[in-house]
């Protein structure tokens, strides 16, 4: 197995956490007869600074020639004054769009070792294992027309979905549910939005081809409650782009820290892998970043792009072991707790690496 991976480290803590993910992948390569070639490329704020664009042409071109893309994080307050299409985040949205992956998989899992890190009671989070399937290329993120007319003092965004866009992501959700607890919860706001009515109708139609999977519909506002009250009752949660952004972040509280969460975006020319957390410029370079989100993202690269399921599981098990031994980065440390010690980004990376 030979894999060429575009390395889009990006801004803030992006480079530090990506490095730990790379170390783990290289350990896997060294142990098996696999080889990973990493192609470091600029994206986000660092790309604006170096090349004047959040997604330079050579970054896109070279990424398209890779087998997978591993992204750290983008975003830098320095560029807050720019319009959305010039900011670091635009680089992320442009590469998402160009790579074509429309199904963004985001697990929200409870770890026993971190049960006390969640604001939710342990009896609520125990055993939670949700997989969000967030549509990533449609809705308000990409809808046209979009503008802010400063003279007219008016701004406009467009939420748009075609049936085909809904069908293709729904199929992935149902297929994933078939290998899990066989339940899909589709989220919309069909009591108000026409787009949600199309969404609901399309998902309902797709469901007919998966008679072994139960489909339920939830309104996005109710869902925001249910995810906190009864998270164990969900299996696969299927959402449009913005609802998925909000609800998957909200579900981060189940795990206890956004720094723990990986994601994989499938269905396009090149799969895109990114931890869910942001660039956290305030802690960049301080050793406080949690590399686990990025390391678990590396596991998803192995699972979905390299077909190395066993190796992915080894990494996931190593993460659990590291946590159970009491190792904690700052975001998941809770003061002086017997049996726990606070470790830096690289220390956590090394602890996990040693177990792989």
Binding mask 17-56 for a second copy (x = CB under 8 A): ----------------------------------------
67 a catalytic residue: no
Output the smallest distance, CB 275 to a second copy, in A: 14
**How far is 271 from 75, CA to CA, in rounded Å?**
21
CA-based nearest residue to 122, from 291, 210, 254: 254
Active site annotation includes 221? yes
Return the CA Rg of the chain. Answer: 20
221 binds ligand IPM (CB under 6 A): yes
Interface with ligand IPM includes 76 (CB under 6 A)?
no
- Residue 58 near a second copy by CB under 8 A: no
Half-sphere exposure of 53 (CA within 13 A, CB side): 10
Closest Cα partner for 43 from 70, 81, 77?
Answer: 70
Residue 192 found at the interface with ligand IPM (CB under 6 A): yes
x-or-dash pattern for ligand IPM, window 34-73, by CB under 6 A? Answer: ----------------------------------------
- C-alpha dist (Å) from residue 322 to 20, 182, 354: 14, 31, 10
Answer yes or no: is 331 a known binding residue: no
Identify the residue among 68, 70, 159, 356 touching a second copy (CB under 8 A). 159
- Binding a second copy (rule: CB under 8 A), the pick from 11, 16, 245, 316 is 245
Would you call 189 a catalytic residue per the annotation? yes
Applying CB under 6 A, among 14, 75, 231, 349 the residue interacting with ligand IPM is 75
- Is 331 a catalytic site residue? no
**Binding to ligand IPM, residues 77-116 (CB under 6 A):** 89, 92
CB of 202 to a second copy, least distance (A): 8
HEC secondary structure over 228-252: HHCHHHCCEEEECHHHHHHHHHHCH
Strands, E assignment, 203-319: 214-219, 236-239, 264-266, 271-273
| Residue with nearest beta carbon to ligand IPM | 89
Burial class (CB in 10 A: 0-12, 13-18, 19+), 64: middle
Residue 140 burial class via C-beta count within 10 angstroms: exposed 0-12, middle 13-18, buried 19 and up: middle
Active site annotation includes 249: yes
3-state secondary structure of 316: helix
Task: Record the tokens describing residue 42, joined without a space.
Answer: 């600029």
Q: What does DSSP say about strands 264-266 and 103-109: parallel, antiparallel, or unpaired?
A: antiparallel
> Which of a second copy, ligand IPM, none does 64 bind, CB closer than 5 to 8 A by kind?
none
Interface residue with a second copy among 39, 64, 124, 351 (CB under 8 A) is 124
Q: Which of residues 237-266 bind ligand IPM (CB under 6 A)?
A: 245
Which residue, 12 or 75, has its beta carbon nearer to ligand IPM? 75
Residues 6+ apart with CB under 8 A from 335: none
- Residue 120 near a second copy by CB under 8 A: yes
User: What single string gives the DSSP state of each residue in 19-38?
Assistant: HHHHHHHHHHHHHTT-EEEE
286 is in an annotated binding site: yes
65 in a known ligand binding site: no
Q: Which of 111, 141, 161, 210 is catalytic?
A: 141
Exposure class string for 163-187: b at 16+ Cβ within 10 A, else e: eebbebbbbbbbebbeeebeebbbb
106 is in an annotated binding site: yes
Query: Which DSSP category does 109 fall into?
Result: E
**Active-site hit among 112, 221, 269, 313:** 221
Kindly tell me the burial class for residue 95, based on how many C-beta atoms sit within 10 Å of its own C-beta (0-12, 13-18, 19 or more). buried
Catalytic residue among 181, 249, 350, 355: 249
Token pair recorded at residue 125: 């989070």
Catalytic residues: 141, 189, 221, 245, 249
- What are the binding residues? 96, 106, 134, 221, 245, 249, 278-290
For a second copy, the binding residues (CB under 8 A) are 75, 80, 83-84, 87, 89, 93, 119-121, 124, 140-141, 143, 146-148, 152-164, 189-195, 197-199, 220-222, 224-225, 228-229, 242-243, 245-247, 249-250, 252-253, 258, 278
Binding residues vs ligand IPM (CB under 6 A): 75, 89, 92, 191-192, 221, 245
């Amino acid at each position: 197995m030979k894999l060429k991976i575009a390395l889009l480290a990006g801004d803030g803590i992006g480079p530090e956490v990506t490095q730990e993910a790379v170390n783990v992948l290289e350990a896997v390569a060294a142990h098996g007869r696999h080889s990973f070639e990493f192609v470091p490329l600029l994206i986000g704020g660092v790309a604006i600074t170096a090349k004047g664009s959040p997604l330079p042409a050579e970054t896109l071109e070279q990424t398209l020639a890779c087998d997978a893309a591993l992204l750290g994080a983008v975003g830098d307050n320095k560029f807050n004054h720019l319009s959305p299409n010039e900011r670091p985040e635009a680089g992320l949205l442009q590469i998402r769009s160009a790579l074509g992956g429309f199904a963004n998989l985001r697990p929200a899992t409870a770890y026993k070792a971190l049960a006390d890190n969640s604001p939710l009671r342990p009896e609520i989070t125990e055993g939670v294992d949700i997989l969000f399937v967030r549509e990533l290329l449609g809705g308000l993120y990409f809808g046209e027309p979009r503008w802010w007319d400063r003279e007219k003092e008016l701004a406009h965004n467009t939420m748009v979905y075609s049936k085909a866009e809904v069908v293709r992501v729904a199929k992935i959700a149902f297929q994933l549910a078939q290998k899990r607890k066989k339940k899909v919860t589709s989220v919309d706001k069909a009591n108000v939005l026409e787009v949600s009515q199309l969404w609901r109708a399309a998902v309902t139609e797709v469901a007919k081809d998966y008679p072994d999977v139960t489909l339920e519909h939830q309104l996005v506002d109710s869902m925001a409650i249910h995810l906190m009250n009864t998270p164990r009752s969900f299996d696969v949660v299927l959402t449009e782009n913005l609802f998925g952004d909000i609800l998957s972040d909200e579900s981060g509280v189940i795990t206890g820290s956004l720094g723990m969460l990986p994601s994989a975006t499938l269905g396009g020319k090149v799969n895109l892998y990114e931890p869910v957390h942001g660039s956290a410029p305030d802690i960049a370079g301080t050793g406080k970043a949690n590399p686990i989100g990025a390391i678990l993202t590396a596991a998803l690269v192995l699972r979905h792009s390299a077909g190395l399921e066993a190796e992915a599981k080894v990494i996931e098990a190593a993460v659990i072991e590291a946590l159970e031994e009491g190792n904690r980065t700052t975001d998941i440390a809770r003061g002086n707790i017997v049996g726990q010690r606070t470790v830096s980004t690289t220390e956590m990376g090394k602890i996990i690496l040693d177990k792989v």
